[in-house]
Amino acid sequence: DTGVSQDPRHKITKRGQNVTFRCDPISEHNRLYWYRQTLGQGPEFLTYFQNEAQLEKSRLLSDRFSAERPKGSFSTLEIQRTEQGDSAMYLCASSDSGTHWVTRETQYFGPGTRLLVL
Amino acid sequence: AQTVTQSQPEMSVQEAETVTLSCTYDTSENNYYLFWYKQPPSRQMILVIRQEAYKQQNATENRFSVNFQKAAKSFSLKISDSQLGDTAMYFCAFMKIGGDKLTFGTGTRLAVRP
């Protein structure tokens, strides 16, 4: 059973460019979450999916951010017209809604994508 | 809205000793989960332990145990026989039952000294 994977692991971009990150959840996990973590802080929720449906979006997710999970498997997070304030670690997590009693609803995290906007 | 507070930004412990990290939270929910996650330097977030609020028994995982006080909204983590590999940032997190988002505290940086 492979864990959550994210690609790329690091991204450096210039202000104003668009970037896209990908997350592959643990297989059979129907829920997928995106968080943002700035240096020295705890992760902050951005959005989450159950299967392909996007169920909640944070106020932090401005119009420049969009996330998709087209077939209920992998997800992408796109940031348009990047700003220096977007520099952060973007974390993806997945969970299962009830198949396994012991681990259900526990979120497992990927390694993150570290974004630096110059 | 839920809030999670970790009042100890940094802690240090001698190898093989015991250390306790504090966490308090605020919620009007009755059914929820509490978690401790560990984030080693430049490495990914790892689940340490999980507690269901409806369970009175405190969760344990090998050297890690919690003291869950529901009425006081307190959820501390005890690490026994500390090891160098325990050096990490530790985050306390809250989640409503039903697949909701995690709400994290600001973290406690733990250093284990040889």
Per-10-residue mean pLDDT of chain B, 114 residues long, equals: 94 98 95 95 91 93 97 97 97 89 96 96
Q: Residue B10: closest CA among chain A residues belongs to which residue?
A: A40
Confidence category of residue A101, pLDDT binned at 50, 70, 90: low
Contact residues on chain B for A50, CB-CB shorter than 8 A: 99
**What would the mean pLDDT of A52-75 be, rounded to a whole number?**
91
State yes or no: pLDDT of A8 exceeds 90: yes
Q: How many CB pairs (< 8 A) connect A and B? A: 56
Instruction: Record the tokens describing residue B47, joined without a space.
Output: 């689940």
Do B47 and A44 make contact, defined as CB atoms within 8 angstroms?
Answer: no
Do B33 and A105 make contact, defined as CB atoms within 8 angstroms?
Answer: yes
Q: What is chain A's mean pLDDT, rounded?
A: 92
Do B93 and A42 make contact, defined as CB atoms within 8 angstroms?
Answer: yes
pLDDT in the model for residue B75: 97
